[in-house]
A and B are shown apart, each in its own frame.
Chain A
Amino acid sequence: MHDFIQYIQSYLDSDKTPGGAGNIFWATVYILLVFGGLSVAVIAMNWLERKILAHMQVRLGPMRVGPHGLLQPIADALKLLLKEDIIPAEADKIVFWIAPFIVTLAAFTVFVVVPFGPTHAITDMNIGILFMLGVSSLSVLGIVTAGWASNSHYPLIGALRSSAQMVSYEVAMGLAVVSVIMMTSLGSLATGLYGVGNVGSQASGTLSMIGIVQAQQAQGVWFIFKFFPLGLIAFAIFAIAMVAETNRAPFDLPEAESELTAGFHTEYSGFRWSLFFLAEYSAMIAVSSIAVTLWLGGWLRPFPGVHGPSIAIPHIWPPADPSAPTGRLDFVFALCPGIAFLLLGAMCFYNVQRMPQHPLFKIQTMGLAGFGATLGLIGLAMFIPAVRDRVEDIFWFSAKVAAFMYLYIWYRGTFPRYRFDQLMKVGWKVLLPIGLALLILTAVVGMRAEIWAQFTGGLR
């Protein structure tokens, strides 16, 4: 027993991910945390999408189940679970049965390497980004099989569209990613740290998700701003490709409602349908995590290189080392998570007093107040230094991903849908050439000193 506790505690002192430290107990805990958190995120996303979209469209959205429809996604999930599971008579039953699981599996598995913080990842693979791209593209397989097994025209067309679309956009996506991977090793030679020849040192290029963020930390710049505007262009390519990759508006052709009724999942119902839904939303979160990790500094707070004048912050609890000085700016940013949650809680309470005073709304009002109080308590807990230091990374990472989620909703509310040939044109004739040019430019700009040295003679 004692050994076991020590085994558990041993991880807490290590500065690795549970997978990296080889600690199976903590790896399991992290897996449960990540997948639980992901499910909650999908549920929250469902509610948020409906609400935000509704407010963009001058309507209210769900308002009945729970205060401001907060429980609507749960009610929907229950409904889907209880619905009859229909497998069409003409369908290929086994393939039809397997397809949603392939899609869900692919969408969830990528989260194994998503770094929520320097140690907050299930594991750190040295081929992390490759793993993410590879596994997430497996979902095409599920979509094609779903469309095929349905033995129906609309799903078939949807599946074919989807496979063509995802495969084409993966090329552009890959090019954008490669340029970032080059950035991890190419740096300004002025610092002398980031030369190409530095293999083996900390400064060599990396495919590891954590390594990419650490490279941004060490170079003191988010890659979106590196080699301006090259990083920005790479980010733009990725940002477009990732929308196409997840089949979302304005590239939602595979499930274009007005054309193909529901695309590849037309014949699916009940829980099987909800698996596709789950997969779509977790895939959105997954690609957003890639974008955040690669270009927006992952778990790093804004201005990661600026610390401000150092001050000694009194640690209230637990009595940590009070002599460790922190930058003033670090301290200010460290307060952000707590303040954000307090603001959310305050928003709830603001709406509590706006709720109708009618007795019928008593439960709803109390529910909203309870929700606000929970958020507020979480916010207060985040001011505790011990908690703050551990969740700060997760907060920044989630906040950045949330910004992408908002973008997804915004696109959906704003854009008409592309036509299939136009979509292909954008992928192959616009994004791909730009991506290729970008790759070469990044290499040239990154190695300009070495190239210059070739002409002037003598490397530094």
Chain B
Amino acid sequence: MTDPNTLSPLDLETPDKTFLDANELVINMGPQHPATHGVLRVILRLDGEKVLGLECVIGYLHRGVEKIAEHRTYTMFNPYVDRMDYVAAVSNGLGYCEAVEKLLSVEAPPRAQYIRVILTELNRMASHQLWLGTHALDIGAITPLFYTFRDREEILKIYEKYCGARLTTHAFRIGGLQYEAYDGFEKDVKNFVNFVKSKIDEYEELLTTNRIWLERTKGVGVISGKDCIALGVTGPVLRASGVRWDIRKALPYANYKNFDFEIPVGQNGDTYDRYLVRMVEMRQSLRIIEQAVEGIPAGPIMAKVPKVMKPPVGEVYHSIEAPKGELGYFIVSDGSTQPYRVRVRPPSFVNLQALDVMCRGQLVADVIAVIGTLDIVLGEVDR
């Protein structure tokens, strides 16, 4: 008998059967697979093409981010969070900075808050665009990928102009911002908003009423609102199942309460609803950006924070609405310059738990669609 440590629990359930004499076919999808969005490994149990059950094996991208935090000062750890959900680095930074600010009992000045909102919402756009492209690619539509990347590029250009980096931006600092918005920032953002509005129509033209797209997404990967809550699923997946829960509205952070926007909610909790919810979210993000860019107040961009940060002993949990769901930071301070413990609640990790529920009884092709619709980023799942 082989070493039980090398076996997954799944192997133990179906002992010693080759795929020829068993009705079940166990297939290993990943970690090298075109559609598992990185290094996700899924062990599928199939009956023909029907999925009987599946198990996710994660950890191929584990870097021990939470442990690293214990050996870095609060400031030094800031860039590390960008490497978790690397397609939404700005959101990660916002969550971390706000959590530490809560711990320090400081608040970023209004001007910084506005610029933070603009950059974070741009990031939501970028993340959703990347999701749309790869999701469509998984379902077989290869063209939207290039359209979304073309338009995402404009967001990255704004980031590059703002802070010099495109992907892992490290845009925010604890207490505010390091960089003042560059000359013409407002104009660039406004231009982008006007430019991308018609582009979203273009994506929708390609997919929303496409017969094959409808057949591939309607009724696929259905999950009820109840199940979502039980599993802790958040973000667009939860909202598509009919639960109106968006932390920007429910527990407003930054200065989201100043902006007028809507929370799109789906009904059926299937892949198509999740697609529609995200498409509306993109438009709502543009609405927020438009309002924010109109109302950027003058003033300082950095609050008064000590050079050496020594937060008082205590703990804090702060969560924000990242593009993929609730991104929470639980930070314990022992009064030293380094956090005693940082625990991240990554939306992708939690949402991935719903994969089994959503895929059971569906076909192999649906697993791909569901992985795409969950919008996971393995950097965030494994940390």
Contacts and interface: CB of A to CB of B under 8 A. Distances in A.
Contact of B363 (A153, A412, A417, A420): A420
A413 B142 contact: yes
B365 interface: yes
B366 interface: yes
B33 interface: yes
Contacts of B150: 58
Interface string A54-69: 0011110000000000
Interface stretch (A231-239, A257-265, A289-297): A257-265
Interface in B340-356: none
B102 interface: no
Interface string B14-39: 00000100000101100001110000
A419 B143 contact: no
A455 interface: no
Nearest to B36: A258
Given A157-B364, A419-B215, A414 B143 contact: yes
A372 interface: no
A258 B145 CA distance: 14
A416 B203 CA distance: 13
A250 B34 contact: no
Interface string A247-281: 00110110011110100000000000000000000
Task: Choose among A58, A154, A256, A420 the residue with the greatest number of B CB atoms under 10 Å from its CB.
Answer: A256
Nearest to A253: B365
A84 interface: no
B212 A259 contact: no
A421 B363 contact: yes
A109 B356 CA distance: 47
B34 A415 contact: no
Given A153-B27, A417-B216, A57 B142 contact: yes
Contacts of B213: 416
A422 interface: yes
Interface residues of B, number: 32
A58 B146 contact: yes
A249 B143 CA distance: 12
A356 B334 CA distance: 64
Contact of B34 (A57, A258, A413): A258
Task: Choose among A58, A153, A249, A416 the residue with the greatest number of B CB atoms under 10 Å from its CB.
Answer: A416
A182 B145 CA distance: 46
Interface residues of A, number: 29
Interface string A373-413: 00000000000000000000000000000000000000011
Nearest to B149: A58
A420 B212 contact: no
A333 B269 CA distance: 58
Contact of B143 (A56, A153, A422): A56
Contacts of A414: 141, 143, 206
Nearest to B19: A153
Contacts of B145: 57
Nearest to A422: B215
Contact of B140 (A157, A161, A252, A421): A252
B49 interface: yes
A250 B143 CA distance: 13
A250 B142 contact: no
B121 interface: no
A35 interface: no
A101 interface: no
Contact of A419 (B33, B210, B365): B365
A97 interface: no
Sorted nearest first, the 5 A-B pairs with minimum C-beta distance are: A417-B140, A258-B35, A57-B146, A416-B141, A416-B140
Interface of A: 53, 56-59, 153-154, 157, 161, 249-250, 252-253, 256-259, 261, 412-422
8 contacts: A153-B27, A257-B35, A415-B141, A416-B213, A416-B216, A418-B212, A420-B49, A422-B216
